[in-house]
Amino acid sequence: MSTTKTYDAIVIGGGPGGYVAAIRCAQLKLKTLVIEKESWGGVCLNWGCIPSKALIAAANFVERSKHAGTMGVTVSGVAVDSAKMQEWKNGIVKKLTGGVQSLVRGNGGELMKGTARFVDAKTLEVETADGVQTVTATKGIIIATGSRPVEIPAFKYDGKQIISAKEGVSLNPLPKRLLIIGGGIIGMELGGVYSKLGVDTTVVEFLPKVLATMDDDLVNVVTKAMGKSGCKFITGAKAQGYEKNADGSLKVTLEVNGAAQTMDTDVVLVAVGMRPNHEGNGFEKIGLAQDKRGHVVINDRFETNVPGVYAIGDVAGGPYLAHKASKEGEIAAEVIAGMKSARDWRAIPAATFTHPEIASVGLFEHEAKAKGIEYKVGKFPFSASGRAMAVMETDGFVKVIGEKTGPHHNDYKVIGVHIVGPEAADLISEGALAMEMDAFVEDIGLTIHPHPTLGETVMEAAKAAIGEAVHMLNR
């Protein structure tokens, strides 16, 4: 039997965009419902950001234990219990996904588990375990349906030997050999995890280099470090297909720079990107405008072409980042509540949790060069940082890019900050703040940073850009 309930705002999707939108709606005194089809917290909390970072931490601990003798600490008997590791990781996921539900309820929002489909621009039918329910929104509906892994026709997922990142964070037992198709962020992060956990790991990338959108100097630090951990890379390679060997393993056929090649492996992890979840929710029923990839078309207030319908996060276009989706969710909620909010950020920081980490905000150097911008670069290596030496994490550097805006030597505005090294993902927020405030390179250099810290490297890199570095020779 169908029941009908009316709300001010309804959110479709309980991921980092959707649940934040629901919380913000509820905070603004809107009667709010959030509908989730599968798992509260979405990709990020269940098999993306959070579980992968837990595994990365475990793998890095294993790696560090091998070098503890340098510090005079003898470590022996280190063994990987994949079942226990999964139990620990799943405990973190359970706690966080439960927390999401508590936060929505605590702010006055309601939760519903089911698949939502548009009936019209204000009405949804939700297929739940208890039957179909009809819900209406008087002020707005926010689409936050997220994205899912892209599937290659020649490597259709079976969830066991041909897997996506969803299964890639839950391998138990660990395979002896792992072939990863795709040298982007997901492939590189999981490649680093499993090579450190003792799996014979190979990353295959179609383009000439892994992490193709980043500057070469950043990527080279990571590939060198991952190579030392046993991870192998094959670039300029196209994975064409596979067949089963007699022993149950897989023989994968590659085309490497035009030449045929085969590789035996036990598991293939496909990590060639994500695609928006735009099917099955009745978008066509309301005439929702979408681009060629299926992203919902929006304006700076996250309004679609259908009045009263909004879209945020991955389904509304890249970059596919949880923190971007969350910010968009807050803004969309405020727009529905009648506020004058709109997208107004200058740059969105991004982090890749390889070891060492890469974190960036603003333009890469190759992008600044392509745009014909007159710029200067300041670099400071972690090998010159006392704190980095003390924690045995000296690979990498901080890179600050400034655009010339005037005649003086220090007239350079921050247009990019890039870090490869220890705790890069945490350090990049300073660069994001600098760009948001339209700061000059000198502003970072003039800011007193505590000593001894990794954060000093950001200050020194900024000073280096204008020829005022203290703890390295200026070029």
Q: How is residue 288 written in tokens?
A: 């929702």
Residues 6+ apart with CB under 8 A from 248: none
CA dihedral 17, 18, 24, 27 (to 10 degrees): -150
Largest CA distance in the chain: 76
What is the distance between the alpha carbons of residues 234 and 249, in angstroms, rounded to a whole number? 20
Residue identified by tokens 């039918």 is: 125
H or E stretch covering 255: strand 250-256
Altogether, the residues listed in the chain come to a count of: 475
Distance, CA of 238 to CA of 205 (rounded, Å): 7
**Computed over its alpha carbons, how large is the radius of gyration of the chain?**
24
Helix residue ranges, H only, 360-422: 365-370, 386-390
- Integer Cα distance of 339 and 420 in angstroms: 39
**471 burial via Cβ count (<10 Å: 0-12, 13-18, 19+):** middle
Q: 128 pairs with which residues across the strands? A: 131
Which of 210, 173, 171 shows the shortest CA–CA distance to 189?
210
Number of Cβ atoms within 10 Å of the Cβ of 341: 18
Q: Strand, helix or coil at 149?
A: strand
Residues 461, 276: Cα–Cα separation, whole Å? 38
Q: How far is CA 405 from its chain centroid? A: 33
Q: In terms of DSSP bridges, do strands 232-235 and 147-149 run parallel, antiparallel, or are they unpaired? A: unpaired
Look up 451 and say whether it is catalytic: yes
> CA 268 → CA 51, 147, 239, 379, distances in Å?
19, 21, 10, 38
What's at 311, amino acid-wise?
A: A
Are 296 and 302 a contacting pair, CB within 8 Å? no
Task: List the catalytic residue out of 295, 418, 451, 471.
Answer: 451
d(CA 315, CA 278): 7
Q: Which residues are catalytic?
A: 451
